[in-house]
Amino acid sequence: MSFGNITQHAGEWLRGQGPQSDIVISSRIRLARNLAGFSFVNRADVVEQRDVLDRCRREITDRLPDGEVIWVDLNQSTPLDRQILVERHLISNQHAKSKAELPRAVAIGADETFAIMVNEEDHLRIQVLRSGMQLAEAFEQINRMDDTLGQHLNYAFSKKLGYLTACPTNVGTGIRVSVMLHLPALKLTGEIEKVKRAAKDLHLAVRGLFGEGSDALGDFYQISNQVTLGRTELEILADFQHSIVPQIIAYEQQARAALLRDRPAQLDDRIWRAWGTLTNARQLGTEEVLTLLSHLRLGINMGRIDKTDVATLNQMLLLSQPAHLQRLCGKEMDQAERRQARATLMRQKLGFA
Amino acid sequence: MNKRKCDKCDQPATHHSVEILKGAKIEKHLCDLHAGEEGLAIKAVHTPINELLTHFVKLHSGAPAARPDRQCSSCGLNFSQFRASSLLGCPHCYEAFENQLKPMLELAHDGGDHHVGKVPLRDDAIERGEQLQLQVMSMRKRLAQAVASEDYELAATLRDQIGRLQEQQP
């Protein structure tokens, strides 16, 4: 595959546009589907896995009208290319790192608004990504794609339990609705713990930047549904649109207002220290960059600093990730070299190098 | 504190309740599974599903050896293997392990026990799906045996039949 220009721009989830994009970074929906007549991926032998992959490739590349589809055979790609796809949120860590002999792939929309993982935990993991709060648009797109593929692939489906998935926690609709939220003020005021507890009471999962098992680096929180059985797709979606997301946005806005009212000096200090470090540091780690970019993003969105814009920050966020950084510099680098290259890149992007 | 056992099995009791019914005191001490069955536990759940699953799996991994390990007739997965990985082997596993999965599904899905969402557009999907599941999976097993015993003629026939069954379009 050619990554020639894919690493040059920020991709859909970091486009920094769309409704409420000062807090809602991106909207994501995924559907888990399996083909009838086959074992699930973890129990299938290589012949079956290959058969599933071939069938899915044929239908995906022939039937999907959504512009150009890039088919990436992950067995043929390098670990660095796979890591780039993880950093762009197009495949999961698990899909990047599973056993070398497992035939697996991802079909990516040329505009990066969708990615279909084949032979991850389920035969198909269809996902649609949009920047900002665009769950309705994302659902419309994924539902259409699912209808198209479902007319030509025999999905494993039961009247009682719905779409059958390898893990029973996904059975039913097989849907996972997630929003990536930037909640720096709730983090600074410590109220984020309350939000997390409330989310858990509502059977929602709160995860970090890179999904399952990752920390909330850079004050990014990914909130997603866990219940997939006994509720319709639209009910699950409506919870996010009308109650969960608006409430968390309101809390974050209140926390931002409170910071400005009660602790303006402390707030500005954070923002300007971030600016100072990013424009001067000679060595920077990934986590540190995420924290600094988070404070700067808060400053821009609150109108406390106007030296750069959110689009630039999004680009910096993506390019500072290990695989993107190495691709950008055109060579493999160890951690120490990456720390230096990362600091240089940050200064360049902010006009200080 | 002494570890009290569940009123209904040998697992440690994790849910305790006291009710006064017509002046008589009724104490209940139940494990997660039986509390779920009694409707005691569902509301008390604030744990992420992954943890719940792991917990559930651990809770039942020490199940008495006397109970025979159930097996899926389609893919051959044992229920104990599912306990270890949290992953089922094929769509038919949901039927094969229906009773064992039921309390777990209700726990993971906030009491949800049947699908109310989208249905595949193809009206023959459900029927064909089930037919494919059993028929094709067993044919694939015979195919593997045929290849193993070097009966290539049979293998070729089976491969064609499987191909035809799965190619059928609406």
Residue B53 sits in the same domain as residue B14: no
Give the C-alpha distances (Å, rounded to integers) separating A72 from A75, A106, A141, B123.
9, 5, 21, 32
Rounded mean pLDDT of A173-183? 96
The three-state (H, E, C) secondary structure of A138-187, written as one string: HHHHHHHHHHHHHCCCCECEECCCEECCCCHHHCECCEEEEEEEECHHHH
- pLDDT at residue number A269: 97
- pLDDT at residue number A144: 94
One-letter amino acid of A323: A
Residue A190 sits in the same domain as residue A240: yes
Residue A33 sits in the same domain as residue A142: yes
> Is residue A44 situated within a structural domain?
yes
- For chain A, helix (H) and strand (E) counts, in that order, are 13, 10
With CA atoms as reference, report the closest residue to A25 among A12, A34, A38, A16.
A16
**pLDDT tens profile A121-155:** 999 999 999 999 999 999 999 999 999 999 889 89
- pLDDT at residue number B40: 52
> Is residue B116 situated within a structural domain?
no
Residue A186 sits in the same domain as residue A302: no
- pLDDT at residue number B170: 42
Distance CA A339, CA A159 (A): 54
Residues 40-99 of B with CB under 8 A from A: 46-50, 53, 75, 77, 85-91, 94-95
How many domains does the structure of chain A reveal?
2
Residue B12 sits in the same domain as residue B60: no
Name A28's Cβ contacts closer than 8 Å, sequence gap at least 6.
A13, A89, A127, A128, A129, A130, A138, A176, A177, A178, A179, A180
- pLDDT at residue number A170: 97
Q: Which residue has the tokens 């229920």?
A: B79
Rounded mean pLDDT of A308-337? 93
Residue at which a domain ends, from A220, A255, A290: A255
Q: At what angle do helices A264-280 and A286-301 cross, to 10 degrees?
A: 130
Residue A203 with chain B: CB contacts under 8 Å: 110
**pLDDT tens profile B115-148:** 999 998 876 666 666 677 778 888 888 888 888 8
- pLDDT at residue number B36: 61
- pLDDT at residue number A27: 95
Residue A224 sits in the same domain as residue A298: no
- Weakest mean pLDDT among A37-51, A277-291, B26-40: B26-40
Contact call for residues A316 and A349 (beta carbons, < 8 A): yes
Residue B57 sits in the same domain as residue B104: yes
pLDDT at residue B46 tops 60: no
> Is residue A289 situated within a structural domain?
yes
Min Cα distance A236 → chain B (Å) is 10
Collapsed DSSP state (helix, strand, coil) of residue B110? coil
- pLDDT at residue number A353: 76
**Euclidean distance between the first and the last CA atom of chain A, given in angstroms as a whole number:** 33
Residue B33 sits in the same domain as residue B53: no
Min Cα distance A137 → chain B (Å) is 17
pLDDT at residue B65 tops 60: no
Residue A216 sits in the same domain as residue A274: no
- pLDDT at residue number B1: 41
> Is residue B57 situated within a structural domain?
yes
Name the residue among A37, A152, A227 with its Cβ closest to that of B137.
Answer: A37
Residue A185 sits in the same domain as residue A334: no
pLDDT at residue B42 tops 50: no
User: CATH number for the domain including A99?
Assistant: 3.30.590.10
Tell whether pTM > 0.90.
Answer: no
- pLDDT at residue number A7: 61
For B88, name the nearest residue in chain A, comparing CA atoms only.
A166
> Is residue A297 situated within a structural domain?
yes
One-letter amino acid of A72: V
Residue A97 sits in the same domain as residue A140: yes
- pLDDT at residue number B43: 40
Contact call for residues A74 and A1 (beta carbons, < 8 A): no
Residue at which a domain ends, from A255, A280, A305: A255
Residue A270 sits in the same domain as residue A171: no
Rounded mean pLDDT of A161-187? 96
Domain range for B94: 49-108
**pLDDT tens profile A94-128:** 999 999 899 999 999 988 999 999 999 999 999 99
> Is residue B145 situated within a structural domain?
yes
Residue B116 with chain A: CB contacts under 8 Å: 230-232
Confidence of residue B20 (pLDDT cuts 50, 70, 90): low
- pLDDT at residue number B2: 46
Name the residue among A37, A152, A162 with its Cβ closest to that of B117.
Answer: A162
pLDDT at residue A4 tops 90: no
pLDDT at residue B44 tops 50: no
- pLDDT at residue number B13: 76
How many domains does the structure of chain B reveal?
3
> Is residue B143 situated within a structural domain?
yes
Residue B129 sits in the same domain as residue B164: yes
Min Cα distance B14 → chain A (Å) is 20
Residue A59 sits in the same domain as residue A110: yes
Residue B34 sits in the same domain as residue B9: yes
**pLDDT tens profile A70-86:** 999 999 999 999 999 99
pLDDT at residue B61 tops 90: no
> Is residue A1 situated within a structural domain?
no
Confidence of residue A64 (pLDDT cuts 50, 70, 90): confident
> Is residue B136 situated within a structural domain?
yes
CB contact under 8 A, A172 and B89: no
Contact call for residues A292 and A277 (beta carbons, < 8 A): yes
Q: Please give the share of chain A, as a percent, with pLDDT higher than 90.
A: 80
Residue B96 sits in the same domain as residue B134: no
Residue A170 sits in the same domain as residue A70: yes
Min Cα distance B89 → chain A (Å) is 5
Rounded mean pLDDT of B26-32? 74
> Is residue B114 situated within a structural domain?
no
**Phi-psi category of residue B23: left, alpha or beta, with phi > 0 → left and psi -120 to 50 → alpha:** left
Residue B96 sits in the same domain as residue B56: yes
Domain range for A334: 264-349
Residue A251 sits in the same domain as residue A268: no
> Is residue B130 situated within a structural domain?
yes
Residue at which a domain ends, from A255, A286, A311: A255
Between A194 and B165, the higher pLDDT residue: A194
Q: Please give the share of chain A, as a percent, with pLDDT higher than 70.
A: 95
Residue A286 sits in the same domain as residue A344: yes
Q: What residues form DSSP beta bridges with A157?
A: A163
Residue A150 with chain B: CB contacts under 8 Å: 120-122, 125
- Average pLDDT, rounded, for chain A: 91
- pLDDT at residue number B10: 74
